[in-house]
């Protein structure tokens, strides 16, 4: 089968690889119909994710059909159309029982990281019963690819951890797919203001279409002053970091209001300064989280009911053969105006 393989920092290739096989009775094999590329895949290619070794098939998002289910899989059988969660969970270990699937003792974020992932024609999904979701009949499969990772991530790591509440002021640093997913799902809670910050005017324009009340282009280095001015010197009750570099976390430290929360989403590969000399008396909370995907069933219902439209995040479509072009398009978003790119396997 064809697959996109990580070959070490800065290097990737399309390769012919053997078909995945059932290894444990709880596995299922899924024939991918649609997958996509995540900002995290770009972090892996930058060398930011030490756990991902060269030779790994990348990708942790996708929908497809089960071709084979292991003997212990009871909820799915061959032919079922499924959404793949970016987090694999056994459902039984201590962390899973606490709803912290991201830290499952035999799962967590393993797909496209420590085991082969979804940017391929087929993928092996461990703990299939508790890591796959049946697609509702008539589902918009392409739109639901956004539920593998970015929507639960924006919602759980950004909105829930950030304690977004009615009437509050939210600032989201980073208007990539994950920041925009936080923007869409923050609106479940009717915040008064959502200020979106990015370097890319195109992404900021999309953010306004998707519900941002204000936007700030931070390329002049004066975003903190702009946000403080907009909020009458108070700052944001919730500051969501959705980029993954020191500068954007430090910006969140500058704009968080007293009593507020900095909710980090970004994957960081470098040390970030923590300015306790400014923050110690501001009653703030800092949260970090690897998405647990506990909200996926809720998000599936919300998407099915038309309360959110994940399709709005899709801008480009490619065949698996052209996945290198898809990576290039996604990585050069400022030129290509790309958000999520759909890859058809
Ligand atoms: N915590 C988790 O479980 C989890 C899950 C998925 C993704 N992530 C992470 O979330 C982050 C966002 O993912 P994405 O797919 O949206 O990535 P992306 O690369 O598409 O988007 C990042 C955005 O940040 C903007 N940006 C870059 N530098 C900036 C700066 N100095 N100031 C303001 N904006 C700046 C870019 O213009 C871009 O729009 C990544 O770090 C990704 O690894 C975390
Ligand atoms: Zn991801
Ligand atoms: Zn577990």
- Any ligand 1 atom below 6 A from CB of 199: yes
Do residue 160 and residue 260 come from a single domain? yes
Question: Which two structure tokens, joined as six digits, stand for 150?
Answer: 């970015």
| Protein residue whose Cα sits closest to atom 7 of ligand 1 | 40
Q: Which residues pair with 23 in a beta bridge?
A: none
Question: Based on the structure, what is the number of domains in the chain?
Answer: 2
Please report, for residues 13, 35, 42, 299, the alpha-carbon distance to residue 152 in angstroms, rounded to integers and kept in the order given. 29, 16, 19, 7
- Any ligand 1 atom below 6 A from CB of 185: no
Do residue 198 and residue 284 come from a single domain? yes
Do residue 36 and residue 126 come from a single domain? yes
How long is the chain? 345
Do residue 232 and residue 320 come from a single domain? no
**Which residue range(s) make up the domain with 227?**
153-288
Q: Are the CB atoms for 206 and 175 separated by under 8 Å?
A: yes
Do residue 131 and residue 205 come from a single domain? no
Q: Which residues pair with 68 in a beta bridge?
A: 29
- Any ligand 1 atom below 6 A from CB of 157: yes
Do residue 141 and residue 248 come from a single domain? no
Do residue 241 and residue 309 come from a single domain? no
Give the C-alpha separation, 75 to 240, whole Å: 36
Eight-state DSSP code of residue 111: B
| Protein residue whose Cα sits closest to atom 9 of ligand 1 | 266
User: What pLDDT does residue 136 have?
Assistant: 86
Eight-state DSSP code of residue 18: P
Category of 30 on φ-ψ map: left (φ > 0), alpha (ψ -120 to 50) or beta: beta
Give the C-alpha separation, 125 to 69, whole Å: 10
User: What pLDDT does residue 22 have?
Assistant: 98
Query: Nearest-5° angle of CA 345, CA 137, CA 155?
Result: 75
User: What CATH number is associated with residue 59?
Assistant: 3.90.180.10
Question: Which two structure tokens, joined as six digits, stand for 303?
Answer: 């998407």
User: What CATH number is associated with residue 197?
Assistant: 3.40.50.720
| Protein residue whose Cα sits closest to atom 10 of ligand 1 | 266
Mean pLDDT by 10 residues, the chain (345 residues): 98 98 98 97 94 98 98 98 98 98 98 98 98 93 97 98 98 98 98 98 97 98 98 98 97 98 94 97 98 97 94 97 98 95 97
Do residue 118 and residue 250 come from a single domain? no
Q: DSSP labels for 270-291?
A: S-----HHHHTTS--EEEE---
Do residue 109 and residue 34 come from a single domain? yes
The last residue of one of the domains, among 288, 316, 333, is 288
Do residue 233 and residue 338 come from a single domain? no
- Any ligand 1 atom below 6 A from CB of 34: no
Do residue 259 and residue 318 come from a single domain? no
Ligand having the closest approach to the CA of 224: 1
Do residue 19 and residue 127 come from a single domain? yes
The last residue of one of the domains, among 288, 303, 325, is 288
CA–centroid distance, 217 to ligand 1, in Å, is: 15
pTM tops 0.75: yes
| Residue 227: strand, helix, or coil | helix
The last residue of one of the domains, among 244, 267, 288, is 288
- Atom nearest to 157 CA in ligand 1: 1
- Any ligand 1 atom below 6 A from CB of 158: no
- Any ligand 1 atom below 6 A from CB of 279: no
- Any ligand 1 atom below 6 A from CB of 53: no
User: What pLDDT does residue 94 have?
Assistant: 98
- Any ligand 1 atom below 6 A from CB of 31: no
């Amino acid at each position: 089968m064809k697959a996109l393989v990580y070959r070490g920092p800065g290097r990737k290739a399309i390769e012919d690889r053997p078909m995945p096989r059932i290894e444990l009775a709880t596995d299922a094999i899924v024939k991918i119909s649609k997958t996509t590329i995540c900002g995290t895949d770009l972090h892996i290619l930058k060398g930011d994710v030490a756990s991902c070794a060269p030779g790994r098939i990348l990708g942790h998002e996708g929908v497809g059909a089960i071709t084979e289910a292991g003997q212990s899989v009871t909820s799915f059988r061959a032919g079922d159309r499924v959404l793949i969660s970016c987090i694999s969970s056994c459902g039984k270990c201590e962390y899973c029982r606490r709803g912290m699937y991201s830290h499952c003792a035999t799962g967590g974020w393993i797909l496209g990281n420590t085991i082969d992932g979804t940017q391929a024609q087929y993928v092996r999904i461990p703990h299939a019963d508790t890591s796959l979701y049946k697609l509702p009949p008539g589902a918009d499969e392409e739109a639901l690819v956004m539920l593998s990772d970015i929507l639960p991530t924006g919602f759980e790591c950004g909105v829930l951890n950030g304690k977004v509440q009615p009437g509050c002021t939210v600032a989201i640093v980073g208007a990539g797919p994950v920041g925009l997913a936080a923007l869409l799902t923050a609106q479940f809670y009717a915040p008064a203001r959502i200020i979106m910050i990015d370097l890319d005017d195109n992404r900021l324009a999309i953010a306004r279409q998707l519900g941002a009340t204000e936007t700030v282009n931070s390329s002049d280095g004066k975003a903190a002053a702009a946000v403080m001015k907009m909020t009458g010197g108070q700052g944001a009750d919730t500051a969501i970091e959705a980029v993954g570099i020191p500068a954007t976390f430090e910006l969140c430290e500058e704009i968080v209001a007293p009593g507020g929360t900095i909710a980090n989403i970004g994957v960081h590969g470098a040390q970030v300064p923590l300015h306790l000399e400014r923050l110690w008396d501001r009653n703030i909370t800092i949260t970090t989280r690897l998405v647990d995907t506990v909200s996926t069933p809720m998000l599936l219902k919300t998407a099915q009911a038309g309360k959110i439209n994940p399709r709005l995040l899709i801008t480009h479509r490619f065949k698996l053969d052209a996945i290198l072009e898809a990576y290039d398009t996604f990585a050069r978003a400022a030129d290509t105006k790309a958000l999520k790119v759909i890859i058809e396997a």
